Structure 1
Amino acid sequence: MSLVDVTDLRVDFGTLRAVDGLSFRLEEGAALALVGESGSGKSTVASALLGLHRGTGARVEGTVEVAGTDVQRASDEELRRLRGGRAAMVFQDPLSSLDPYYAIGDQIAEVYRVHARVSRRAARARAVEVLDRVGIPDAVRRSRSRPHEFSGGMRQRALIAMALACEPRLLIADEPTTALDVTVQAQVLDLLHTLREETGMGLLLVTHDVGVAAESVDEVLVMRHGRAVEHGPVTAVLGAPSEPYTRDLLAAVPRVDASRAPSEVSGEVVLRATGLRREFGRGKRAFTAVDDVSLTLHRGETLGVVGESGSGKTTLGRMLVGLLEPTAGRIEPGGGVRPDVQMVFQDPVSSLNPRRSVGESIADPLRARGERDEGRIRERVRELLERVGLEAAHHDRYPHEFSGGQRQRVGIARALAADPRVIVCDEPVSALDVTTQAQVVALLGELQRELGLALVFVAHDLAVVRQVSDRVAVMRRGRIVESGPADQVYEDPQDPYTRQLLAAVPALDPELAARRRAARRELAIA
């Protein structure tokens, strides 16, 4: 009997059919990736495997069997035994999955005690054991830490440890590496692979990142609009896809080995930063986020700033815009918040007021510049909406009525409203699937060419940075460790840290991914 057997699964939310007649199997110890864009239904399928739609009002039809349990017919008690016991799930956002008030070890111990009749001391010992197993250093001490004391990668490891506590036969990982740096992402994917080898558990990986799938699984099922488009061995689906949609999905994936066509860069300097330094805190608690950074930006040029979380790249971007004052150094032209330098933020949801229409948000820079004629303001907002690929009729809609890619277009329109010379883009596509990501990147390139904009593109995704950048600056611990023309930095990196980042980028070739994983394992052992 298969570990997972799904037949003709259909899931409806009201009038919306999220999953439409999906069937697949997963054998013991195997790994399957559900790949698709946002809204394709892949996360809905993952939730259906554990009966998480029960009681939500969703209508679920078809047959779902997981580790010998008929999920549709199971009682609530049988589902509780399945969840966390024989099948466990790791969610995309570890912060929302962990209780901020309780120590990590206590939370893992509590999950273990739900399924195993053991003492609190035994449960605590089990928590330490699984934390150690997923590579948390000094597991005894760190088990007493709360979630905010862990980095993003460590929080994701803690969630995996919680999932492993009861030795499940199936691990469901829903976008487990979306918000992680490339090196941390590689570590988490390597961990999942090692755990499969050691425990024999099956893995169902939900991801919009085709490269992550290539690194991690035996088979790929490509989804679109709730249906299976293509299903087969990972080498066949990614190496020689038979369906046009799969080929389009692969074509949209940014490649770290594909250089960008040169921009029309003028000699005019539009922004210059010299010796920038930014400290937070005072005295012994002072922390230097940016340390002696200098850069020059020309009209029509894109400067990519790449680095891991904590490297200082976002702090640098906020100083360039004027949202943070440098502790030392200078920016020319200066003068606090500069309307000629605008920012597109990573999370358009948090940067847009949910109580105001998108049209009102886009109009803010116009009013800040002194425009008082409401007719002209509305007409300009309509022009900007159409300029970024939205409709004038969207003016009175609210942020929750838009997709992630559409909300990012609203953020770009708002930045354009100030007629800037420079736009600082802080991780503008990190939360988007590859096709939406490609559309936003193409839009930024089009606007740059037409308006002569200079862009500072801040990101941890090295493939995206290469796709958009003329020059690249690599940051680590607040400093620029390497910079130069993009092709030079990517093809002949001089700094060991740059080489480390490039080696961690997911490869679309499963065989190359396996060789890289083996090389990382040998390096870790050495």
Structure 2
Amino acid sequence: MTTRDPLVEVSGLTVDFGPVRAVDGLSFTLEAGGALGVVGESGSGKSASAYALLGLHRGTGARVGGSVRVAGTDVNTAGDRELRALRGAGAAMVFQDPLSSLDPYYPVGDQIAEVYRVHRPVSRKAARARAVEVLDRVGIPDAARRSRLRPHEFSGGMRQRALIAMALACEPGLLIADEPTTALDVTVQAQILDLLHDLRHETGMGLLLVTHDVGVAAESVDEVLVMRHGKEVERGPVARVLGAPRAPYTKELLAAVPRVETRRVVPVPPPRVAEDAAPLLEAVGLRREFGRGSGRVAAVDGVSLTVHAGRTLGIVGESGSGKTTLGRMLVRLLDPTAGRLRYGGREIGSLPEKELRSFRRDLQMVFQDPVASLNPRRSVGESVADPLRAAGESDEGRIRDRVGELLERVGLDPGRYERYPHEFSGGQRQRVGIARALAAGPKLIVCDEPVSALDVTTQAQVVELLSELQRELGIGLVFIAHDLAVVRQVSDEVAVMRRGVIVEQGSADAVYADPRDPYTRQLLAAVPALDPGLAAARRTARKELARA
């Protein structure tokens, strides 16, 4: 590769999986040291394109056409030895799920050292030293000691850092990052994005970032390539594409992105409740412990809150903050260890299951993972019908009619009653979960991360559906999420959780406009910004907060 050749040169790329064309005539270049974000929803072909850069479709049955050159190597015609030399030394990839990319049985440092020795003729001792060096470079504290730990002993963010360290070991000219922050909390996501930004500028490596999150792209790249149905929709400098998109699809994609600056639109007409009315649900000093003896841990510790009919309480916090445990206690799927829980003025926190049954219809939950909460061996219609049968309805005709109404209400075809969960998309499965929660005619629904795994346009559709249902039915909502922008969009009041306690609570406008707790300020500073200039300012603010 001469100094003038692009680091990556893709021309007319096609990728076929059987009869499905996942990538259709894609062409782009990436200069040495540049950063390109490939943005699109699930099924757009962005990951299939990234895999083609390293010849990872070879041997899978996929058919790859067109021309792909990376760091001077013609990937599609290269032999196995050339590809091995390219992977790791010339270009390296960081995958979405570090647990599936790391061997659970071997220490992380040994795995990085092994990769280094494949590409460099060095001793085991030198390879181990290199592993510790790159782990330290990506911000793993006490790198020498932690290099001896296995992947399960690392947090999610540390595992992702370890993958980046492995990719950096051989100083590649190109780093391909495929959805590297999807499963991470907002502050850990910001740390990983800052790390990629710093590494790029220190080493001069090129970056190809694959993501469905437009905000993540704004934080990290110089240019953006928007994909849909395997094709390029729009490409250009990140500030221009995100600031003045030309393609209708790009405009639609950006319009669906939740913004932390956007206040909730008050339902019109407003629900027939007064703010000073008696709360629908009230928690006082709720506590939940796990474990035994000296190993007991309080996942939720002394939480007090209220939920009113027709209003939404947003609960935000990172993994391990206790928000899911709290949500399960609010609908009595978990028993509180201590504290009081009142529904409609009646104490239900200590009611035995037999007496609790009369409240089950009123208190429902929508779970984060609809795949795990829907029985794969039963049709979605039967799953939605379960609460009706539990309530004593036995007329099959009435049950099918009601399920059909519920499916239609959440935007699904009633004729798909007999279909199974795997036949639905992620967003459709989440709609099924909402229909099932509505079947009981609840007064309050707790939504636990209901949109975290969804594309932004599907996410926006589910959020709008919940708002419509609240306007029509006057139900109270508890919306649990780690995404502060989504919570701002849906919530009247917000509670911020950290390590089992609420550190800040109040109206959404007050908490977002004037956060009092340092942790809330830290969370807000970590939210990706669509404006690259603002993203840079927030990166600087994060570094200042970290030094403070």
Same fold (TM over 0.5): yes
Give the SS at the match of 1:324.
coil
- State whether structure 2 residue 412 is matched by structure 1 residue 402: no
Pairs within 5 Å for 1:434-445: 434-445=456-467
Letter in 2 for 1:382: G
Match of 2:90 among 86, 92, 114: 86
Give the SS at the match of 2:506.
strand
Q: By how many angstroms is 1:283 displaced?
A: 2.2
Given the two structures, how large is their TM-score scaled by the length of structure 2? 0.93
CA contact (8 A) 1:268 1:299 kept: no
Q: By how many angstroms is 1:120 displaced?
A: 2.4
- Counterpart in 1 of 2:41? 37
- State whether structure 2 residue 436 is matched by structure 1 residue 414: yes
Give the SS at the match of 1:296.
strand
Q: 1:285 to 1:46 in 2, by over 3 A?
A: same
CA contact (8 A) 2:242 2:530 kept: yes
Which 4+ residue blocks in structure 1 deviate beyond 6 angstroms?
A: none
Q: By how many angstroms is 1:416 displaced?
A: 1.1
Pairs within 5 Å for 1:181-200: 181-200=185-204
Q: 1:355 to 1:116 in 2, by over 3 A?
A: farther
Deviations 1:41-60 (A, max 9, x none): 11111111111111222111
Q: 1:474 to 1:522 in 2, by over 3 A?
A: closer
CA contact (8 A) 1:357 1:395 kept: yes
CA contact (8 A) 2:445 2:476 kept: yes
Q: By how many angstroms is 1:184 displaced?
A: 0.9
Give the SS at the match of 1:62.
strand
- State whether structure 2 residue 424 is matched by structure 1 residue 385: no
- State whether structure 2 residue 320 is matched by structure 1 residue 310: yes
- Counterpart in 1 of 2:248? 244
Specify every segment of 5 or more residues in structure 1 that has no aligned partner in the other structure, as ranges: none
Q: 1:369 to 1:102 in 2, by over 3 A?
A: farther
- Counterpart in 2 of 1:281? 291
Q: 1:273 to 1:181 in 2, by over 3 A?
A: same
CA contact (8 A) 2:447 2:479 kept: yes
For the aligned residues, what is the CA RMSD?
A: 1.4
Q: Which moved more, 1:296-305 or 1:241-250?
A: 241-250
Q: By how many angstroms is 1:368 displaced?
A: 2.0
- Counterpart in 2 of 1:458? 480
Give the SS at the match of 1:84.
helix
- State whether structure 2 residue 121 is matched by structure 1 residue 111: no
- Counterpart in 2 of 1:221? 225
Q: By how many angstroms is 1:32 displaced?
A: 0.2
- Counterpart in 1 of 2:56? 52
Give the SS at the match of 2:89.
coil
Deviations 1:449-498 (A, max 9, x none): 11111110000110000000010001111111111111111111111111
Give the SS at the match of 1:204.
strand
Deviations 1:346-395 (A, max 9, x none): 11122222222212222222222222222322222222111111111221
- Counterpart in 2 of 1:292? 302
CA contact (8 A) 2:444 2:477 kept: yes
Match of 1:127 among 118, 126, 131: 131
- Counterpart in 2 of 1:425? 447
Pairs within 5 Å for 1:152-163: 152-163=156-167
Deviations 1:72-121 (A, max 9, x none): 11112222222222111111111222222222112212222222232322
Give the SS at the match of 1:184.
helix
Given the two structures, how large is their TM-score scaled by the length of structure 1? 0.97
Q: By how many angstroms is 1:519 displaced?
A: 3.0
- State whether structure 2 residue 327 is matched by structure 1 residue 323: no
- State whether structure 2 residue 543 is matched by structure 1 residue 521: yes
Deviations 1:235-277 (A, max 9, x none): 1111111111111111111111111122435135221111100
Deviations 1:167-221 (A, max 9, x none): 1111111111112111111110000001101111100001111111110000001
Q: State the alpha-carbon separation in 1 of the partners of residues 437 and 118 from structure 2.
A: 50
Pairs within 5 Å for 1:475-490: 475-490=497-512
Q: State the alpha-carbon separation in 2 of the partners of residues 84 and 36 from structure 1.
A: 26
- Counterpart in 2 of 1:360? 382
- Counterpart in 2 of 1:203? 207
